[in-house]
Structure 1
Amino acid sequence: MTFLVFIGSERESTPPRPARLGERVAMACARRLTTHQVQHELVDPLKIDQPSPFKPHFSYAKGKAPRALEDLARRIHDADGYVMVSPEYNHSMSPALAHLLNHFGSSLFSYKPSAIVTYSAGQWGGARAAVNMRTYLAELGCLPVSAMVHVPKAHEIFDETGAYLDGLDPDHWDGYLDRTVKQLLWWAEAAARQRAHGTAEKPAAFTRAPSQRNAPGN
């Protein structure tokens, strides 16, 4: 299986210090996936040329979307699950992460699990953003697993490579991250098996317009 780990920040400036805490947290999650012998790719919004003004991938004619969006759409479609790493902005998920994900429809994400990982430079670890992310990811179709990761004062936990800083108990932190990672893997294996061999018919994805959600006769 292959997983995508989304870095939910584009900020390279300070505060907070040091900058790009999200990259550290994402790499820490990637390290745990490696430990469990799972393939993964980091998705960094700074490395993706997103169209401006905003135009989602699914609104282009087939084969006409910008190459960066086409590539990411393929990677999302082929992945078996997702790790969404986000700071907290106004009690909500990162606008950079939402902006990136909003380019793609639920048909690419659906019937696969996701994991919510939040962080902060302060004491709350981005936990309030996770509440918002649950409904958002459910709408995308990649239902989040129940276990979540919240990392307060992330700059005191991870170095630039995502490794733990000196003086911390690695077993304690590995166990904390693995609770979520193991749930993600369990559900991803179950979903992959059902997609390959399931007998239940999948409902048609919403691909044309929001009116597809309307009740009959409305």
Structure 2
Amino acid sequence: MKILMFLGTVRDSTPPRPARLGERVAKACFAGFNKQYKDDEIELVDVLDYPLEPVFKPHFSYSTRQVPAELDKLADKIASADGYIMVSPEYNHSMSPALANLLNHFGSSLFSYKPSAIVTYSAGQWGGMRAAMGMRTFLSELGCLPVSSMIHVPKAQNLLSEDGHFIKSNDEAEWFDYFGRTFSQLVWWTQAASNHKEQVDPLQIIAPFTQDPSQRNAP
């Protein structure tokens, strides 16, 4: 299975400290996933690596020759992935606007019929769980339904070092076990969806919306 992990933070300034706390969380999740699923491929997609134009324009609305190369390559990665892990901070009880902006550049047909897992974090006590509730709806509409188990990391700056290792070494086993509940669900649904798509191509049943709004119109 091929999994894409999206890191949804672009804040690289202080205060507050430390900047880009999500990097630590993503590294820890990356290590926890690899420890449990050595045979599966996981790749990090950092929103900071995709400078986007101020005016939003979906990937599918560009003509062939005008698609920004970075977005075109990412579209191919999204299409070829079997599942997704979304790592987001919480802004005003909502998901990262930078993550939503990047994901909204791509049509749901690239994500659809694949599962996703939600990982949120914060410097405070709630671990971004309020953002996670909204992400359930967002990801469902995007087509990559989130698994029921989620990961919340409160006070991440006290738990993880800059390189993503647990500051207290005896915390690793307990947290990796916690991560594993969500990753196990993700991998199970990823394998189930992938196996069924070999039997039935969902995009042959419901054509993707790629050109005109009338493709989604009621009669």
Q: TM-score, normalised by structure 1?
A: 0.94
Deviations 1:37-85 (A, max 9, x none): 1211111111123233222211101343000100110110011110000
The amino acid of 2:152's aligned partner reads H
Q: Distance in 2 between matches of 1:133 and 1:151?
A: 16
Indicate the percent of aligned positions where both proteins have the same amino acid. Answer: 59
Deviates more, 1:78-87 or 1:160-169: 160-169
Aligned to 1:133: 135
Aligned to 1:20: 20
Q: Distance in 2 between matches of 1:198 and 1:58?
A: 25
Q: Number of residue pairs matched?
A: 216
Aligned to 1:143: 145
Q: Distance in 2 between matches of 1:14 and 1:202?
A: 49
Cα deviation, residue 213, structure 1: 3.0
Cα deviation, residue 154, structure 1: 0.7
> 2:6 aligned with 1:3, yes or no?
no
- Secondary structure, counterpart of 1:172 in structure 2: helix
Unmatched segments (≥5 aa) in structure 2:
none
Cα deviation, residue 122, structure 1: 0.4
Counterparts of 1:36-75 in structure 2, within 5 Å, are: 36-37=37-38, 38-75=40-77
Q: Distance in 2 between matches of 1:24 and 1:188?
A: 25
- Secondary structure, counterpart of 1:3 in structure 2: strand
Equivalent residue for 2:207, pick from 180, 185, 204: 204
Q: TM-score, normalised by structure 2?
A: 0.93
Cα deviation, residue 16, structure 1: 2.8
Q: Distance in 1 between matches of 2:125 and 2:74?
A: 33
Cα deviation, residue 211, structure 1: 4.1
Cα deviation, residue 170, structure 1: 1.6
Q: Distance in 2 between matches of 1:162 and 1:214?
A: 47
Q: Distance in 1 between matches of 2:177 and 2:33?
A: 13
Q: Distance in 1 between matches of 2:20 and 2:89?
A: 10
- In 1, are the aligned partners of 2:5 and 2:44 still within 8 Å (CA)? yes
- Secondary structure, counterpart of 1:41 in structure 2: strand
- In 2, are the aligned partners of 1:55 and 1:103 still within 8 Å (CA)? yes
- In 2, are the aligned partners of 1:86 and 1:93 still within 8 Å (CA)? yes
- Secondary structure, counterpart of 2:205 in structure 1: coil
Aligned to 2:82: 80
Q: Distance in 1 between matches of 2:18 and 2:182?
A: 26
Q: CA RMSD in A?
A: 1.5
- Secondary structure, counterpart of 1:30 in structure 2: helix
Equivalent residue for 1:186, pick from 181, 188, 194: 188
Aligned to 1:162: 164
